Chain A
Amino acid sequence: MKPARITSAEVLVTAPSMLWLLLLFCVPTLIVFAITFKPADLYGGIGPGWTLQTLRSLSNPNYPTIIWRTIWISFVATAICLALSVPMAYHLARVTPRWRQLLLLLTIVPFWTSFLIRIFAWKALLHPEGLFKQALVFLHLVRPDASLLYNAEAVLLVSVYTYLPFAILPIYAAAEKFDFGLIEAALDLGATRLQAFFKVFLPGIQRGLLNAFLMVFIPSLGSYVIPDVVGGPNAEMIGNKIAQRVFVDRNLPHASGLAAFLTVAVLLPMLIMIIHQTRAEKQPPTMREVA
């Protein structure tokens, strides 16, 4: 291997993606922070000069409730996804290759299907006239006048449904590499099955768990369509507020302020991941399994 000296060939293949992403990913992110300190003009654009008005209006008493709700919904959704993914990944790692291929394919298909359609499918099921609601009423599990839609639980359910494949794939990737002989060794040495699971298997797939946590937690912090379609006004998340500032009252600086806040909130766990990623190995196993 040659020493790391930058050649013209390297520049040639690196430049297109590097420049594109610097211009259309990094610069726009910086602009979000800049526009937070600009005033709005009367026509929904950005006015001249600089102001701290947006920062002041962000101390609106509604926001702490919404931020808190965003965090707990994301956190609980992530926890449920992990709890379902670990046994499933364990199963995937232990079945015969033929079965594994089929089960993996079945896990990947929902990842490829339209995100809006999957949300819509749940809206139709939870709708007062929908099948799910009718079935629960028939079983006397809910009262006929109870509403399954437009609450935080509906947002949670659909979030788990949407993000679950993102948790299964990295955990499976880690479980596949796990040496199951270690569990047998632990059992031979007198560990109970629960001990073997918590003290040997879970630490063994730690990296997969961390990846899965971030792959679910970060996108769900930015959820907008799910709370918008099945959540309603009582289950709004930060994403809804950003969209309202853009599409309803067209106050771009205010929307920027919220987006800047969200960027900082997702940057923190992401930095941890990047440090972890560069330290451990070059490839995240996550995307390899998607293909």
Chain B
Amino acid sequence: MKHSRLPLLTTILVLVFFYLPIVILIVNSFNAARFGGTWGGFSLKWYAKLFAAREIWHAFRNTMIIAVSATALATVIGTCAAFALHRYHGKLQKLHYTLIYTPLVVPEILMGMSLLLFFVALHMQLGLFTIFLAHVTFCISYVTMVVLARLQDFDFAIVEAAMDLGANWWTTLWRVLVPLLAPGIAAGALLAFTLSVDDFVISFFVAGPGSTTLPIRIYSMIKFGATPLINALSALLLVATFLIVWLTQHLLHKEKA
């Protein structure tokens, strides 16, 4: 059959559209000139300034505290949820699935707004802890979806075999299930971690004084100048993201390849 060239051309166009702004941003992070329109020579000065900026380090520390703790909890809860959804198919799981799925599509601003009101209504002090609660809430759904997708290829006969051979419930869990599902769970955790590190809208609503995270910092830099510093910071974050994506793909496709 003769093929139309349109699909290929669209694909190329879309990929250029995706990557051109990112590439230009990275190139500009080495640009000595303040504005991206002109090339002022190669320079690492924005990186040097970035490393000297104390408020960025502080925000980075907050982001890491939240991302690590929220990912840990969400991974445990999300993995349990994925097991439940995979193993059982009653009315309860239909409701459960809807409850897991809905936060994935609800606009972030609504989640931020409703959690803010919830915390205000409970007279909770806004800060790192409220951001942590909010992040666990949206990470659960993503972890569940990733682990659930992995469970689809999983053969539960292995579990029954282990039990038949005399392993108890606990041994089966830790020696059979978790090691076999580790790549899927790790991929879910990495997605949760990236989403937590990246989240701005929800964090912005539930943050309090002193709990500025990196995205909140970046947002105020975007709004109130300090442009070339963001180029450098963005370039570093992009490299970190590429590494995480590569790692996830490696985890998920290791056996398939």
Q: What is A's interface to B at a CB cutoff of 8 Å? A: 1, 4-6, 10, 12-14, 16-18, 20-22, 24-29, 31-32, 35, 45-46, 84, 87-88, 90-92, 94, 101, 103, 105-110, 112-125, 127, 129-131, 133-134, 161, 164, 168, 183-184, 187, 193, 214-215, 218-219, 221-225, 229, 239, 242-243, 246, 252, 255-256, 259, 262-263, 266, 270, 273-274, 277-278, 282-284, 287-288, 290-291
Contact = CB atoms under 8 A, between A and B. Distances in A.
Interface stretch (B40-48, B51-59, B159-167, B194-202): B194-202
How big is the B interface, by class? 35 or more
A94 B1 CA distance: 12
A117 B11 contact: no
Nearest to A19: B77
A113 to B, nearest CB: 5
A115 B237 CA distance: 11
A114 B215 contact: yes
Contact of A21 (B100, B145, B249): B100
B131 interface: no
B105 A124 contact: no
A120 B37 contact: no
Contacts of B77: 16-17, 20
Given A110-B18, A121-B25, A24 B137 contact: yes
**Interface secondary structure of B, over-half rule:** helix
A88 B16 CA distance: 13
B36 interface: yes
Given A112-B244, A121-B234, A219-B105, A88 B21 contact: no
B215 A116 contact: yes
Interface string B200-223: 110001000000000100110011
Interface of B: 1, 3-4, 6-11, 13-15, 17-19, 21-22, 24-25, 28, 35-38, 76-78, 80-81, 83-84, 87-94, 96-111, 113-118, 120-121, 133-134, 136-137, 140, 142, 144-146, 148-150, 152, 187-188, 191, 194, 197-198, 200-201, 205, 215, 218-219, 222-223, 227, 230-231, 234, 237-238, 241-242, 244-245, 248-249, 252-253
